[in-house]
């Protein structure tokens, strides 16, 4: 039996993650149809929240929510409460959970620092020196190997989003079989598939450019979520494609909210 506090922590984390993807999707979709907005990534979400009324409070809440999501991922990776196992497949999943936890913990910490005025970059010499050192490390042989391995991992994570979508991996987690209304089940199913697929597209693009950066010994080729949208925009049918993927991320946000409400935890 999974502890009730852990379930509450996970559900809180799903909501926070959903808010992040919802804001990314809405801002980017508005940019795609020329209604203001901007191509956005996780950092732009924090900037957006900071500009709102009671922005610091929103950032603190976001930081706490993302910390809950990170903690849930760490519990999955280390405690394995749902018996994923320690065979090759299970180990790969648990390593992915741990890396996901690190990513969202970092974003949560950054949100909290911004709330207290400590997350802004400074124009001082020390910051510039740190940036140069970081760039030098990424350009080194070790750094390029790390970029390549991380990029390959991101591509695999992106492909896994498509697998989850079309193998109905989420079906049991949401307990859809228990929902009496056929229309409601179909609506949730389509939302999950659309959202997971859109996230898969973004992850594959980011991973592809990371691997390319490693192979070309050029860390500057690494792309963020925001730059992945720029890549889509510059392609054939760019604004349309960017708009569809952005709408998909809004669907992914809805999927996260559904996870917060319906997620079943199987011990």
Identify the residue with better confidence: 11 or 237: 11
Supply the pLDDT for residue 203. Answer: 94
Return the axis-axis angle of helices 42-51 and 225-233, rounded to nearest 10°: 110
Supply the pLDDT for residue 234. Answer: 86
Identify the residue with better confidence: 216 or 252: 252
User: How sure is the predictor about 120, in pLDDT bands with cuts at 50, 70 and 90?
Assistant: low
Check pLDDT > 90 for residue 200: yes
Check pLDDT > 90 for residue 73: yes
pTM score of the predicted model: 0.87
Question: What's the burial of 25, exposed, middle or buried (CB within 10 Å: 0-12/13-18/19+)?
Answer: buried
């Amino acid at each position: 039996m999974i502890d009730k506090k852990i379930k509450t922590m996970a559900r809180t984390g799903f909501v926070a993650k959903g808010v992040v993807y919802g804001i990314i999707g809405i801002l980017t979709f508005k940019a795609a149809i020329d209604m203001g907005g901007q191509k956005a990534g996780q950092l732009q979400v924090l900037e957006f929240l900071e500009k709102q009324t009671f922005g610091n409070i929103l950032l603190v809440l976001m930081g706490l929510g993302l910390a809950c999501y990170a903690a849930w991922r760490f519990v999955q990776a280390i405690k394995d409460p749902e018996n994923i196992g320690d065979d090759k497949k299970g180990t790969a999943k648990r390593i992915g959970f741990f890396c996901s936890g690190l990513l969202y913990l970092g974003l949560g910490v950054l949100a909290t620092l911004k709330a207290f005025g400590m997350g802004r970059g400074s124009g001082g010499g020390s910051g510039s020196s740190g940036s140069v050192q970081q760039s030098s490390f990424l350009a080194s042989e070790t750094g390029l190997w790390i970029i390549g391995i991380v990029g390959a991992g991101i591509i695999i994570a992106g492909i896994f989003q498509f697998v989850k979508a079309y193998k109905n991996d989420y079906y049991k987690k949401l307990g859809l079989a228990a929902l009496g209304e056929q229309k409601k089940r179909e609506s949730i199913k389509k939302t999950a598939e659309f959202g997971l697929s859109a996230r898969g597209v973004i992850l594959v693009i980011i991973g592809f450019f990371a691997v390319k950066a490693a192979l070309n010994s050029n860390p500057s080729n690494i792309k963020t979520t925001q730059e992945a949208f720029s890549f889509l925009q510059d392609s054939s049918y760019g604004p349309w494609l960017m708009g569809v993927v952005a709408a998909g991320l809004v669907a992914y946000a809805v999927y996260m909210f559904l996870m917060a409400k319906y997620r079943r935890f199987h011990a």
